[in-house]
Structure formats: C-alpha cells, structure tokens
Amino acid sequence: MELDDIRAHWQGWAEQFKGDIRATTKTPTIKLLEIDALKRAIEKIAGTDGAQSILEVGCGNGHNCIALSKFFPQTHFTGVDYIGDMVKCALDNRDAQQATEQADFYEGNVLDLDSHAELTGEYDIAFTDRCLINLNSVELQLQGLAQIAHQVKIGGHVILIENINDSYSQQNALREHAGLAARTPDKFNLFFNENELTEGAKPHLQLVRSENFASLHDIMLYVITPMVSGKVDYESPYVKAVTDMLLSLPDGLHDSFGGFGQNRLYVFRRTQ
C-alpha cells in the first residue's frame, strides 16, 4: 500500500473508533498482553520505580502510555502519533483517566522525530507497539528505527513490539497442519523479517533480548478456536482464559510457548 493510503487507513479508524482500543487493534486481549510485556521490559531495564522519561512513537489513542503510567507513577510518558485525531483522543483518554500530569501527546511522524520541537532526544526508553510495520519498505522502517534510536540517550533502551514474518509463518504452518488456510497480513502492514530488523538496528542499537510473549495466545486465537468454531473469534472465552493465565505467570515463563505469536518484543540498548 502507498504511504498516503496507510495514513488514510489510520485516519479512518481514528474517526470511526475514537478513544476505544478498537482504533488500534481488533484484538482487545493482545492489548493486555502488550501492556504486560512492556511493563515487564521496563521493570527489567529500570526496576519497579521505572525510568524518568519514556517515549512511545506511534502511540495511537494513548492506551499504552496511560496504562503504563499507573504502574510507574514516577515516570513521565510522551506519546507521538502522525494522526492528529489519535492524539486528540489520547489527550481525552489521559484526562478521563487522571493521568494528565504524567503523560503528554503530540502529533509527529516517526520519519521526522529529529526536528520535532517537543521531543528531548534524551529519553531513557523509547518504544513502539506495531508502528514501524506501517512503513511500506524495509528502508523506511530502518530510517524510522534510527530516528527512534536518536531520541534515546546513549546507553538508554529501545523496546519494539512489531510483527515478525518468521513467527507469522510458523503460525500459518500450524494452521495448515490443522487444515486451515494460511492468513495474510493486512494490506497496510509490512511485517519484519527478524534478521533484517536485528541487522538493520546494528549501526545504533545492540540487541539485548527478545520475547515471543503472545505465542500461546495466538495459537488459541488463530488456530484452536478456528478449528472448533470455523472463525477467528476475538471474543472467545478460551482466548480470554489464555490471556488471564499468561497475565498471571511469574517472571521467566512468558517465553515458554514457542515462536508462534505474530507480535514479538525486542529490547535494544543504544550504543551510538
């Protein structure tokens, strides 16, 4: 898809779904697991007090920053998104959830963060959650990643939750073994090849670790429930049960269910 069409897609969802999670995902359960994975990643980097300053690029209507601000009351969160209506909804959500002091949201493009007047370039942590996959070439995705890395102080961290072809293919292989057709990504997304991401990050970022936090969730959502009911059911009680179980796990077990989740979390340290 052309970049203008991708932008029009997000403008459309912002207008249609406003402050609701549905403006940024069809899967409410994955949003819970993403926030949990981000929280655990931030704790591993900065302890339970959190970092001083955290930036989310492609923040949508603000659900990640607002939820994380409740876990880390000493951290200031800044969110940037290129859709003005998403930013407006993020500000409304923030105020409605009493997070006004702790979070700011601005309009801005991941490809042009260097010239953004409100951004400090000195964040302890910057993260994305399914943002870079909305750029339509690997070259642009890596340009965006370099812009994100520049916003973090040297020695600071970049956390990415992005969709990865490698685990998406594994998931499709499971579907095909089970007699289901392979799924294809939405037209407005270009998933990463893991190798291109980790190699492309190297000029600025050193990979610390990765986690396939949604593997079991995605097996249940995209393989097991379709085997039983014939469709992907975002409201399935079994998907909700798996999500509750994953949210209750002690540290160390979240990556124990294979590489079948289409979203994967990566932690990088800025080296230069």
The residue (of 78 and 174) whose beta carbon lies closer to ligand SAM is: 78
Among 37, 42, 50, 58, binds ligand SAM (CB under 6 A): 58
Among 39, 51, 78, 81, binds ligand SAM (CB under 6 A): 81
The residue (of 81 and 124) whose beta carbon lies closer to ligand SAM is: 81
Q: Which two tokens stand for residue 50?
A: 């959190």
Among 72, 77, 82, 268, binds ligand SAM (CB under 6 A): 82
Measured between alpha carbons, how far apart are the two ends of the chain, in Å? Answer: 33
The residue (of 63 and 175) whose beta carbon lies closer to ligand SAM is: 63
Q: Is 105 in the site for ligand SAM (CB under 6 A)?
A: no
The residue (of 174 and 201) whose beta carbon lies closer to ligand SAM is: 201
Strand ranges in 101-197 using DSSP code E only, listed in sequence order: 103-107, 123-129, 152-163
Residue 160 contacts by C-beta under 8 Å, 6 or more apart in sequence?
Answer: 127, 128, 132, 145, 197, 265, 266, 268
Contact at 8 Å (CB) between 54 and 75? yes
Contact at 8 Å (CB) between 192 and 163? yes
Reference 246, options 210, 209, 216, 211; nearest CA is 216
Q: Which stretch binds ligand SAM (CB under 6 A): 125-133, 208-216, 236-244, 255-263?
A: 125-133
Phi/psi at 247 (nearest 5 deg)?
A: -70, -20
Min dist. Cβ of residue 165 to ligand SAM (A): 17
Min dist. Cβ of residue 82 to ligand SAM (A): 4
Q: Is 64 in the site for ligand SAM (CB under 6 A)?
A: yes
Among 86, 160, 214, 267, binds ligand SAM (CB under 6 A): 86
Instruction: State the Cα–Cα distance between residues 222 and 232, nearest whole angstrom.
Output: 6
Q: Is 83 in the site for ligand SAM (CB under 6 A)?
A: yes
Instruction: State the Cα–Cα distance between residues 261 and 259, nearest whole angstrom.
Output: 6
Under rule CB under 6 A, which residues in 132-161 are in contact with ligand SAM? 134
DSSP codes of every residue in 31-87: HHHHHHHHHHHHHHHH-TT--SEEEEES-TTSHHHHHHHHH-TT-EEEEEES-HHHH
Among 129, 170, 260, 262, binds ligand SAM (CB under 6 A): 129
Min dist. Cβ of residue 144 to ligand SAM (A): 7
Summarize as ranges the residues that interact with ligand SAM (CB under 6 A): 10, 24, 58-60, 63-64, 81-83, 86, 109-111, 129-131, 134
